[in-house]
Amino acid sequence: MSKGGATGKIASSVAHRRAVEAVRNGATNAIALVGEYLETITIGLENFRLKAEGSARDTFDELVVESIADFTPYRNELIDLFMAVAQHIPSEAMAEVIHRFFERCLPYYNVPESISSYSEWDFDNYRFIVHELFIYCIAAFIRFERFEAAAYFVNTEYYRYNRFREESAMHSFSIFDENLSSLEFRNKRLELRRYSLRADMLKDRNQGTGVAFHHLMAADFVLFLRSRKQEGWQTWWPETLLYAERSGGPFEMFARAKSAKYFERIKVLLGFENAEEFKAFMLDLLANRDRLPKWGFHGPNVGGLSGVANIAAVP
């Protein structure tokens, strides 16, 4: 990841540097500085709002892809912050600040009150950007084995105001995973014949982030499992698992959970009281192929990735 500060649409580099340094040094005002930096990003997202008129609508997907690329320097700043927090101050108070940041990103998924004419595609850049950030956030905490902190983002619901419904509600983390029609359109328009452009972009954009792709896939996998456990109408589709080896072994956290002692550490993130509960859930999930991710006729080896056959096999 580039060490240089981001420049351009959001003047965030100074606030980012102050926040990260405070986190790494354990400064007493670290939480406040992180909050200030994240607020700068939240407000600055407005500068990435898209709108295409007339003939430009026919190639609107180009604007979406360009906008996502333009946000990359800020994404890298945020990943840098997530990694620093996970390593140095993975406290509940810090997790709450980051949780509120993601919550404040949700209004960008929908039309603002000041706009009356719009297309659902107009917000696809935000839907990709925030979804990607959320996976990286979870991946950072998994990378440093901060499972309790990672669980905060999964267990704590998110407030999302919707002016088109009588009641605004709290939602699970799956609210961040919304379909991107513009990328599906792009796949057809350019005759790319890809299973998932979103997955391709997540993979290609991973280079230089400082977060190994297998950590990103592990986070995506955990989010998928948790959404299946919740059984709500909101689900999490694990895009990155398109690249999971179909005969590969378990992700590191699940491989280590061969130890019952280690499973006790990760169970808070998985949402189970004990290993027996988790294994029963996995066996039920594997028995129902309609609930498993797949692209075309192929899908990842969910049982292998979870290491379910060896969970808590030794003390």
User: 230-246, pLDDT tens digit by residue?
Assistant: 876 679 999 999 999 87
Residue 207 has pLDDT above 60, yes or no: yes
Residue 83 in tokens: 């990694």
Name the residue with higher pLDDT: 248 or 28. Answer: 28
How far CA 303 is from CA of 101, 152, 174, 282, in Å, comes to: 34, 25, 22, 7
Q: What is the mean pLDDT of the chain?
A: 93
pLDDT score at 3 = 36
Average pLDDT for 217-235: 91
- What are the pLDDT digits (tens) for 56-94? 778 999 999 999 999 999 999 999 999 999 999 999 999
pLDDT score at 161 = 81
**Cβ proximity of 68 and 128 under 8 Å:** yes
Percent of the chain residues topping a pLDDT of 90: 83
pLDDT score at 54 = 66
How far CA 80 is from CA of 5, 12, 26, 77, 207, in Å, comes to: 11, 13, 16, 5, 14
What is the Cα 24 distance to its own chain's centre?
23
Average pLDDT for 147-170: 86
Percent of the chain residues topping a pLDDT of 70: 93
pLDDT score at 6 = 46
Residue 173 has pLDDT above 80, yes or no: yes
What gap in Å lies between CA 87 and CA 226, rounded to an integer? Answer: 24
pLDDT score at 166 = 60
pLDDT score at 5 = 40
Residue type, 94: M
Name the residue with higher pLDDT: 277 or 248. Answer: 277
pLDDT score at 164 = 66
Residue 284 has pLDDT above 50, yes or no: yes
Residue 249 has pLDDT above 60, yes or no: yes
pLDDT score at 256 = 98
Cα pseudo-dihedral 79, 82, 84, 90, rounded to 10? -170
Residue 123 has pLDDT above 90, yes or no: yes
Name the residue with higher pLDDT: 292 or 245. Answer: 292
pLDDT score at 55 = 61
Average pLDDT for 104-112: 92
3-state secondary structure the chain: CCCCCCCCCCCCHHHHHHHHHHHHHCCCCHHHHHHHHHHHHHHHHHHHCCCCCHHHHHHHHHHHHHHHHHCHHHHHHHHHHHHHHHHHCCCHHHHHHHHHHHHHHHHHHCCCCCCCCCCHHHHHHHHHHHHHHHHHHHHHHHHCCCHHHHHHHHHCCEEECCCCCCCCEEECHHHHCCCCHHHHHHHHHCCCCCCCHHHHHHHHCCCCCCCCHHHHHHHHHHHHHHHHHHCCCCCCCCHHHHHCCCCCCCCHHHHHCCEHHHHHHHHHHHCCCCHHHHHHHHHHHHHCHHHCCCECCECCCHHHHHCHHHCCCEC
- What are the pLDDT digits (tens) for 34-48? 999 999 999 999 999
pLDDT score at 68 = 98
Confidence tier at 2 by pLDDT (50, 70, 90) = very low
What gap in Å lies between CA 216 and CA 222, rounded to an integer? Answer: 10
